[in-house]
């Protein structure tokens, strides 16, 4: 079970970091558009479509990565005080009741939505050049699949925590600012004591 969790976490991390590079493309294309629009007085026909398509892709494809790192928003004012086993039981139930129905709906509707868009080679109605939007619509299905896989890994993580009363670590890729400051403050105090 741990090997499955680690494999899916690695896959989600790889996909998330790979699609994270779209930020650079998005930034470069926006800068180019601003230059063309305000310096050369010759705006592009494709910049608006490219910006929402790249941002949409980044948003969709980072969902599983964020889930693998436990980074989604959570109202945890009560949750953080519970024992890990209790947290895992609640998480397990919530994944089954809410997460999987929503994500499976995303997968199935995204598949048909994307397949129809690909079949007719759908283009943007916002652009005079007809920028293809069907690839973005296919990303909805792909993002849903990555979320299903990561959700299964999270269920396995819950099962292990229910058994051991301890959460399996998520790696040290991302640290919340509050945690990083606490770690830094703790290290600086240890240095002063020595």
Task: Assess if residue 180 is contained within a domain.
Answer: no
Instruction: Report whether 69 contacts 173 (CB < 8 A).
Output: yes
pLDDT value at 192 more than 70:
no
pLDDT value at 186 more than 90:
no
- pLDDT range class, residue 63, cuts 50, 70, 90: very high
Task: Assess if residue 182 is contained within a domain.
Answer: no
Instruction: Give, as one character, the DSSP assignment of residue 158.
Output: H
> What does the pLDDT look like over 9-47, one tens digit per residue?
999 999 999 999 999 999 999 999 999 999 999 988 888
- pLDDT range class, residue 184, cuts 50, 70, 90: confident
Q: CB neighbours of 71 closer than 8 A, spacing ≥ 6? A: 174
pLDDT value at 188 more than 60:
no
Task: Assess if residue 12 is contained within a domain.
Answer: yes
- Given this model, what pLDDT does residue 71 score? 81
Task: Assess if residue 134 is contained within a domain.
Answer: yes
Q: What total number of domains does the chain contain?
A: 1
Query: Which range marks the domain in which residue 142 is found?
Result: 2-71+81-170
Identify which of 20-34, 70-84, 120-134 has the greatest average pLDDT.
20-34
Task: Assess if residue 91 is contained within a domain.
Answer: yes
Q: What percent of the chain has pLDDT over 90?
A: 64
pTM over 0.85: no
Task: Assess if residue 59 is contained within a domain.
Answer: yes
pLDDT value at 127 more than 80:
no
Q: How far apart are the first and last CA of the chain?
A: 43
Task: Assess if residue 142 is contained within a domain.
Answer: yes
Task: Assess if residue 185 is contained within a domain.
Answer: no
- Given this model, what pLDDT does residue 39 score? 94
């Amino acid at each position: 079970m741990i090997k499955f969790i680690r494999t899916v976490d690695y896959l989600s991390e790889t996909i998330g970091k790979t699609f994270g590079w779209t930020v650079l493309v998005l930034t470069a294309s926006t800068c180019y558009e601003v230059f063309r629009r305000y310096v050369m007085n010759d705006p592009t026909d494709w910049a608006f479509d490219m910006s929402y398509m790249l941002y949409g892709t980044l948003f969709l494809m980072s969902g599983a990565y964020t889930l693998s790192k436990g980074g989604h928003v959570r109202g945890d004012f009560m949750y953080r005080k519970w024992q890990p086993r209790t947290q895992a039981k609640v998480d397990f139930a919530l994944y089954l009741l809410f997460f999987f129905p929503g994500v499976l709906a995303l997968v199935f509707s995204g598949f048909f939505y994307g397949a129809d868009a690909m079949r007719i080679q759908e283009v943007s109605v916002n652009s005079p050049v007809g920028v293809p939007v069907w690839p973005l619509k296919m990303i909805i299905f792909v993002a849903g699949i990555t979320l299903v896989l990561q959700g299964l890994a999270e269920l396995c993580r819950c099962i292990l925590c229910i058994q051991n009363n301890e959460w399996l670590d998520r790696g040290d890729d991302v640290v919340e600012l509050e945690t990083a400051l606490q770690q830094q403050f703790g290290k600086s105090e240890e240095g002063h004591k020595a």
